[in-house]
Amino acid sequence: MKVLYIGDVVGKSGRKAVETHLPRLRDELALDFVIVNGENAAHGFGITGEICNAFFDLGVDAITTGNHAWDQREIINYMATEPRLLRPVNYPEGTPGRGMGVFEARGGKKVCVIQAMGRLFMDPLDDPFAGIQRALLNKKLGAGMDFIFVDVHAEATSEKMAIAHHFDGQVSMVVGTHSHVPTADAQIFSGGTAYQTDVGMCGDYDSVIGMTKGPAIGRFITKVKGERLTPATGEGTLCAVYVESDETTGLATRIAPVRLGGRLIEVMP
C-alpha cells in the first residue's frame, strides 16, 4: 500500500498548501490512503466541520487532531457523528468522538488509524501505551488489517520514539506531530515499522511554528501573553511523510519525507 500522512495544518496558509499540492501527490504517488492532522486548521486553533468537509472533498480519508481538538466548540457534535475525524484515543472515557477507526482504502484494503497524545509537558491524559494497545485488540497486520497507522501527538521526542519502539512490528507506521518542525530521522525499525519523530506542519515557515513572529517573540521577551497569536499568512509549505508497505505482511518497505512549496527545500519521494 501507499499511504501519505500530512502534518499539522496551520490556518489558511496550511489549508492552501494542502489544496494546492495534494492533487499532484495523489496522482504522482498513486496513493491508496491519505491522512491529515487538522487540529490547527481553523485560524490556528482547532478545526470546524466545514474545513473537515473541504479536506474530504480533496480526497483525504481520515483526519487526526490533538490537544487543540476542542478549540472550536462546534466540532464537538460533528466529531461525535463523523467517524473519519479522530481525537486522541487516551482521552478519558465519555469524551465525544473516537480515537481509532478502520477505513477502506483504494482496492478494498483495510486501514486502521489510531491517534494517541503524549503526557510529558502535555495535558495529563490516560496512558498512551495502554490506549494504543486497547485500540489494537483484534487488529493484526496480515490478518484482516492491511495497514495500521499511529499518530503520536506529543511534545517530547523521547516519548514519541519510545511509543514507536514499543509497537515496532505490530503496526505499519508511527509518526509524531505537535512540534510543527519536520525531523530528519525517517527510518524503518528492525521490526518493520516506519517512523519519523515529527512530520512538521503545513503552513508559513516564515513564522514561529506557524504563528506571526511579533506577538510570539513578545511573549518570550515580556513573559506576558499580550496580543492573541494569529497564523502567518505567507506561502505555506506542505510537510508530509510517505510510506509503502508490503502487501502480505503490512509492514513498511519504504519511508520518505515530502516537502512542497513555501520556504523549505523541496523533497519528493
Which residues carry out catalysis? Answer: 68
For residue 5, give the nearest of 98, 79, 114, 91 by alpha carbon. 114
Q: Report phi then psi at 219, rounded to 5.
A: -65, -35
Q: 76 and 46 in contact (C-beta within 8 Å)?
A: no
Determine the Cα–Cα distance for residues 76 and 89; give it in Å rounded to an integer.
15
Residues 171, 41: Cα–Cα separation, whole Å: 27
